[in-house]
Structure 1
């Protein structure tokens, strides 16, 4: 009996995925729910488990192919007929030589390489892409913390994946030896792809065996690094690739100690952070494996006291000297997706922005009066965001089209408010969602926003916590923005921009007084929201902020 392996549900707004990594090959035995492959979307990486036990008879969608939801990925023969699982060392043999896979071990003495492979004999366990979220179908392999032949413990971190939203660590599903890496660093994998194979219960090879087993790989890596350095016009001692003079000249350095820099690529999130903060790699103390710079290392370097700046040099004409001071860093998947989605929003929606301003004195007076009692009772500070969330929920009841979305030729009205709250993180802007915000109290909203904000800054938000929003609030005021036009977060039809509170002279009761004022901006999709509705919404928000008692009276 043959069972089909199909692309799982990818999420409400995801229409395709890329087959990133296959953890099994035709002829391999598979168990129920064992990870077969990994798919990548623009949101997350999705693992594809085996729906039945048997033998992987055929792979229909090869690595790198783009597939739609429910597309056929592979076939499993439940009868179990087929080639027995190949040992880890044989998995790299071409598929056109299956005969050797079924042969018993030769009676002749095994070469040393085969002896090392026999030490790794045991049950093969696939390392699959973990769950990435309902609308995320692919990810990028950012960093491998282990190499082939290394011993691993159960739940030990093997590698790090990057999606357009979060970084995901992949733990080892079993203790043993990392027998094979199927998705190298930089590879795009789908949400159900196989990343590696672990030989369960095996012991790592001794240092001498590891050297012989990986000597060719290191030589290839060093050669590739030199080729990349030549292509980029870099010297072999450049930070990007090659063996540095420090590596070679260090006292007591032997073949095991000299590591080609090409084998140690900094985490993509760290590269991005260094580029954004203008920090040189030499100024960062690496804590990762083999001297790999991690995101946390960049954060520490950024917070460290800066050394006195060197004397300025006379400006040189635009030449190779200037080129040496430039750095080209590949955009992370998160930044690529942010750029694409924002541009898509501009290209798709008939986006328009309307402005108003709010006198924040009423809220500030209320906060000053009740902040101590509020914090004592609820264990959380009373901030501005809960007032804005409640004011928006109140206004959305009167102007429901701002809380709706377009689906083809239909308008979908949401009779609930899932409030997205934009949060700036070291990896870029993310929008966690406060679900059913219209049914929550001020204290519940403040607590949830605080928790989601912390998770966002720590890179620990899950995909579920960033999906399903119906309206978004973005607070540029925390960075000092006085006025801006926020961009829609598709498929939503409205987004409110908060800004800096600034004392300004205004006329109140015929007199000029100084009041804490904030500019408000509502960007909306004019295809579904008319100007009247947009202006009415923003006026209702303004009224609720200037007189918070209206929220209590529901007027």
Structure 2
């Protein structure tokens, strides 16, 4: 029996998702628990498995669509099953999709030799494969009448359309999308240009060659040098949350410089016995211990009051291609340095490979952001709401420092604490940061 596939909710704060790519096409077989489509959430891009087996009867939302959670995005059922009633239940014109697969194929055959069609006006749809083929052939899908359900332009429509253009070159000039754009900017009739591309297709250089030498081409190049990047998915959410953080919180900042000589020695001791521990792992461990001594730094401001959390879930900011993700080490205050090292490495790898699950990046109570590996001396981080603070970690480097009456070389590192002044006052925040410094300079205190 036909049923809807809905936009799944991945994480408590997710309200919508972007369909990045359908991994199965309409009419193709779907196997339960195998990848069906890729979705971009406010956190990352993940592959979503099919919830049932059958045939993908209808894709309601194509790739690129931003869809609210729980809204139907496709229909799955038995092959050739009538799903018009189900589609009609969400307000779609059921009659337009009542055709069986055989009827659609028959209709495609009937229009296979159709003449070139006039450009379509109004809203229309095209399958991902049709769009890709049209782009390859330099065809605007808006010029094509679709033979699929609801007038959907399918791959065969594009192939027939392209054949007719090549068979009747006088009907319309084949040109690449860029060539059409250049012709539009230069106010040039593209039909009067002899193309140098495959099968006489007009290229952008053909249009430029036909333009008179003037200032206009310079202006055109300047316009074409710009690219508009849509603000969506993770980038959109990061922007919203950072603006929210700065707009709602009274953020203040303290900085301190730490002598990491003893922490460096500790790491070398671990390496000597074959145990891998990073400097960031040591920072995470020291920060977790300091949070147990300064519990207000592990709280959240709410309209009802300050929520004091008796558990410590440490977020560790990780940069990925799509933006920034903060996987969380749960109950870090109960874990050893070895355990923290193992878990942080696993989470960082999962983040870079887009394998994080919602439970991996939710529930954080405090965050550490380290940019030392990028040669950054120090920086001020923005709090990840609803947390009360974030620790920014700079690079570890040799520096001359005064020790008694002498100047010596030490391994130094800068820390910067940003905190919500509504929840924590300046003095206790300074004491908290100083305590982290003491623990890093004397790591034996962790025992």
- The equivalences for 1:110-509 within 5 A come to 123-200=1-78, 205=101, 209=105, 212=108, 223=120, 243-245=135-137, 255=156, 258=159, 319-375=219-275, 381-509=276-404
Q: How many residues align?
A: 355
Larger deviation: 411-420 or 192-201?
192-201
Kindly state the Cα deviation for residue 322 of structure 1 after the two structures are TM-superposed: 1.4
SS of 2:395 mapped into structure 1: coil
Q: Give the 3 Å change call, closer, same or farther, for CA 526–199 of structure 1 in structure 2.
A: same
CA distance in 2, matches of 1:427, 1:494: 24
SS of 1:514 mapped into structure 2: strand
Q: Give the 3 Å change call, closer, same or farther, for CA 370–536 of structure 1 in structure 2.
A: same
Q: Deviations over 1:18-72 (max 9, x none)?
A: xxxxxxxxxxxxxxxxxxxxxxxxxxxxxxxxxxxxxxxxxxxxxxxxxxxxxxx
Task: State the match for 1:287 in structure 2.
Answer: none
CA distance in 2, matches of 1:151, 1:215: 27
Kindly state the Cα deviation for residue 187 of structure 1 after the two structures are TM-superposed: 3.1
Kindly state the Cα deviation for residue 215 of structure 1 after the two structures are TM-superposed: 7.8
Q: Over the residues paired in the alignment, what is the CA RMSD in angstroms? A: 3.5
Task: List runs of 5+ in structure 1 lacking aligned partners.
Answer: 1-122, 229-238, 249-253, 262-314, 376-380
SS of 1:319 mapped into structure 2: helix
Task: State the match for 1:297 in structure 2.
Answer: none
Q: Deviations over 1:348-398 (max 9, x none)?
A: 1110110001111111112112213252xxxxx111122112211221122
CA distance in 1, matches of 2:329, 2:413: 23
CA distance in 2, matches of 1:386, 1:393: 11
Kindly state the Cα deviation for residue 513 of structure 1 after the two structures are TM-superposed: 0.7
SS of 1:258 mapped into structure 2: helix
CA distance in 1, matches of 2:242, 2:111: 46
Q: Deviations over 1:441-500 (max 9, x none)?
A: 111111110111011001111111111111100001122211110000001111000111
CA distance in 1, matches of 2:61, 2:310: 44
Checking the alignment, whether the CA contact within 8 Å between 2:286 and 2:440 is kept in structure 1 is yes
Checking the alignment, whether the CA contact within 8 Å between 2:19 and 2:40 is kept in structure 1 is yes
Task: State the match for 1:526 in structure 2.
Answer: 421
Q: Deviations over 1:163-196 (max 9, x none)?
A: 1102232333334322122233333323322221
Checking the alignment, whether the CA contact within 8 Å between 2:4 and 2:74 is kept in structure 1 is yes
CA distance in 2, matches of 1:223, 1:450: 53
- The equivalences for 1:21-170 within 5 A come to 123-170=1-48
Checking the alignment, whether the CA contact within 8 Å between 1:247 and 1:258 is kept in structure 2 is no
Q: Deviations over 1:301-341 (max 9, x none)?
A: xxxxxxxxxxxxxx999722111122112123110010010
SS of 1:335 mapped into structure 2: helix
CA distance in 2, matches of 1:503, 1:241: 57
What TM-score do you get using the length of structure 2 for normalisation? 0.71
Kindly state the Cα deviation for residue 199 of structure 1 after the two structures are TM-superposed: 2.0
CA distance in 1, matches of 2:9, 2:422: 35
CA distance in 2, matches of 1:260, 1:134: 47
